[in-house]
Structure 1
Amino acid sequence: MPSAMTSPARIGDAPGLHSGYGRLFAPDEMTLGLIMPLETYPSAGIPTMEAHLDAARHADEIGISGLWLRDIPFYDPQYGDAGQVFEPLTYISALAGATTRIALGTAGIVLPFREPNLLARQVATLDQISGGRMIVGFSSGDRPKEYPLFDIDFDSRAGRFREAYDLYRTFTEERAPAYDTVRFGSSPGGYDVLPKPPHGRTPAIAIGRAGQDIAWIGSKMDGVIVPSPAEPDLPQAVADWRTVSGDGFKPYGVAGFLHLEADRDYPFERVRAGFRTGSRSLAEFMERARDAGVNHIALNPRFTNRPIGDVLADLERDVLPRFPSLA
């Protein structure tokens, strides 16, 4: 494991050195990730989480590139979605011990609800103990009802996100920094936040727009994963991202729910918040998306009416040979 005090020659080198980032993202490449839990439960709001670590090991062994964990602070029965139930940063520590290669990411931490000092220590610790497999995805959340439960004004979320993100980056990348913020305190300097990430920075991905201008995301963050635009719109969406994300490579990813049919050639179609498809048709879509410039697809198998073992078997047979994890 790299030393907690190791940093690259330049902070901007960190994504290129980071094993998790390198497993997921590269120019002109496409990889497949899965959104947790690795369980199908189309008619329930809360998964059972049975044999969840065994499923994660299986995904690691067959070559899935990454596992993505959502941040759902409160379960709303009307919304009917508890995600993977376990708090994501705590759960990643268990997944890091149960797997060896697969990248582990958040999709995403609701940043306006998090205290930046604590978050910086948690993320850097996970990046250290996972051997550089941690990717931190940040969002502003999609549930307005949660904001009053934290005594936070929903309309302040965009500014709060930016301030929390900048301070999080300060804590993880600078030694004993001085800072002065509106919402998160101040320091004259001299007090450090440890540990530091193993390569100077844990790659940070925007999950959705997080209430921000896309140019801000392009300048501040290391990539973006969004709900998939309609297929004809993908080339322009990627081109718009490349315009604002600077000269270096920053990946563009898409995400959605997966309804994987037993018929491997079931035609690929968009459905609400995701895709209905057979495994061979999914691979064909991924090829077209790669040609449009997409670098990663993150799929949530929740709504598939088949056991997760069958889903992983279809992906192993028909998708992963064409879109393996990157070295």
Structure 2
Amino acid sequence: MKIGLVLPVVVQHPSTRAEWERTAGIAEVAQIAAAADRLGYHHVAASEHVAVPREIAVERGGTYWDPLSTLGFLAARTRRIRLATQVLVLGYHHPLEIAKRYGTLDQVSGGRIVLGLGVGSLREEFDLLGAPFEDRGARADDAIRALRASLSDPAPSYDGPFYSYDGFVVEPHAAQVRVPLWMGGRTRRSLRRATEFGDGWVPFGLNVDELQAMLGTVDLPDGFELVLGSGRRLDPLGDPDATLRAVTRVREAGATVLGVSLVSTGAGHYCDQLHALRELTGQAGCTFDADPGHDRDD
């Protein structure tokens, strides 16, 4: 099982945000991403919301850094770690807009993007952006097919029920021959969408029994990634036993990738937690991709 990082600061939920994140900025985010890169973590992830209604932000949070800007900045300060959107809302973008912007990021990062994609559920945001809401699932399916046909092609062509284009040049395009697409969601339809069109599934809000019941209804393709969260912030320095139990539970649930958030009092402490988590979970069979001699902060 590989381990990735749900970046602090760039998404701030009122119930889980650490106090230091309120005033932290890109310097702290870059410090943490660089440490994760040196230690061989699989990915760093940023999510997307354009504008959250004030009353909803009180409960769900209103701070969401733009993933393209954030990951583009981090691409220049890391070497190997993958740069993941978790998730990009398909209905807010034309497929070729995604192909151009994230294809460019894939080029400048040396082929490191992972596109986590979602249908979206915040109707007020759809309405604000003039994006259709009622048929967003069908539109998302068509957008995913269009992306698969277009991300790595400088002259993409696609003809579907919602998106159709031909005769355009899209340069730069993605460096990867096949950009990994992870589908977010918590329904059987999201899982079917992931196995039919994607390379991984990022479920949320499901307990282990619900997860196993859904997985039992499909045959997972070879190499398919099941990307699960840790369920709570982990504290490998303060409570290594509970941390190891949480990681083991996720791995036994079938995860091939674990996305973690960590208890922290600041960026330096967060980096120390990354070191501790690597040591703890590496002994338990989790995999990292760090270069010898580059596994400590300067």
Normalised by the shorter chain, which TM-score bucket?
0.7 to 0.9
In the alignment, which residue of structure 1 is the partner of 2:258? Answer: 297
In the alignment, which residue of structure 2 is the partner of 1:41? Answer: 17
- CA distance in structure 1 between the aligned counterparts of 2:185 and 2:96, rounded to whole angstroms: 24
1:35-114 pair list within 5 angstroms:
35-37=6-8, 41-42=17-18, 48-49=24-25, 51-78=28-55, 79-80=57-58, 81-83=61-63, 85-114=64-93
CA contact (8 A) 1:222 1:250 kept: yes
> Aligned residue pairs: how many?
277
Name the SS for the 1:229 alignment partner. Answer: coil
Aligned-residue identity in percent: 22
- The unaligned stretches of length 5 or more in structure 2 are 11-15, 291-298
In the alignment, which residue of structure 1 is the partner of 2:288? Answer: 325
Q: Could you tell me how far 1:100 is from its partner in structure 2?
A: 1.1
Per-residue CA distance 1:68-114 (angstroms, 9 max, x = gap): 1101111433224234x431112211101011121110001011101
Name the SS for the 2:79 alignment partner. Answer: coil
Cα RMSD for the two superposed structures: 3.0
Q: TM-score, normalised by structure 2?
A: 0.80
One-letter identity of the residue aligned with 1:48:
A
Higher RCO structure, 1 or 2 (CA under 8 Å, sep 6+): 1
Q: TM-score, normalised by structure 1?
A: 0.73
Which of these residues, 112, 128, 134, is aligned with residue 133 of structure 1? 112
CA contact (8 A) 1:173 1:201 kept: yes
CA contact (8 A) 2:34 2:78 kept: yes
Per-residue CA distance 1:282-307 (angstroms, 9 max, x = gap): 22322233233211111234xx4633
Name the SS for the 1:145 alignment partner. Answer: helix
Q: Could you tell me how far 1:66 is from its partner in structure 2?
A: 1.1
CA contact (8 A) 1:42 1:305 kept: yes
- CA distance in structure 2 between the aligned counterparts of 1:147 and 1:325, rounded to whole angstroms: 39
In the alignment, which residue of structure 1 is the partner of 2:141? Answer: 162
CA contact (8 A) 2:18 2:264 kept: yes
Q: Could you tell me how far 1:47 is from its partner in structure 2?
A: 5.8
CA contact (8 A) 2:36 2:274 kept: no
- CA distance in structure 1 between the aligned counterparts of 2:38 and 2:75, rounded to whole angstroms: 14
- CA distance in structure 2 between the aligned counterparts of 1:124 and 1:207, rounded to whole angstroms: 20
- CA distance in structure 2 between the aligned counterparts of 1:118 and 1:71, rounded to whole angstroms: 15
In the alignment, which residue of structure 1 is the partner of 2:182? Answer: 205
- CA distance in structure 1 between the aligned counterparts of 2:158 and 2:80, rounded to whole angstroms: 37
Q: Could you tell me how far 1:211 is from its partner in structure 2?
A: 8.7
1:1-327 pair list within 5 angstroms:
30-37=1-8, 41-42=17-18, 48-49=24-25, 51-78=28-55, 79-80=57-58, 81-83=61-63, 85-174=64-153, 176-184=155-163, 186-187=164-165, 189-209=166-186, 212-227=189-204, 229-232=206-209, 235-240=212-217, 243-246=218-221, 248-255=222-229, 258-261=232-235, 264=238, 278-301=239-262, 304=263, 306-318=265-277, 319-322=280-283, 323-326=286-289
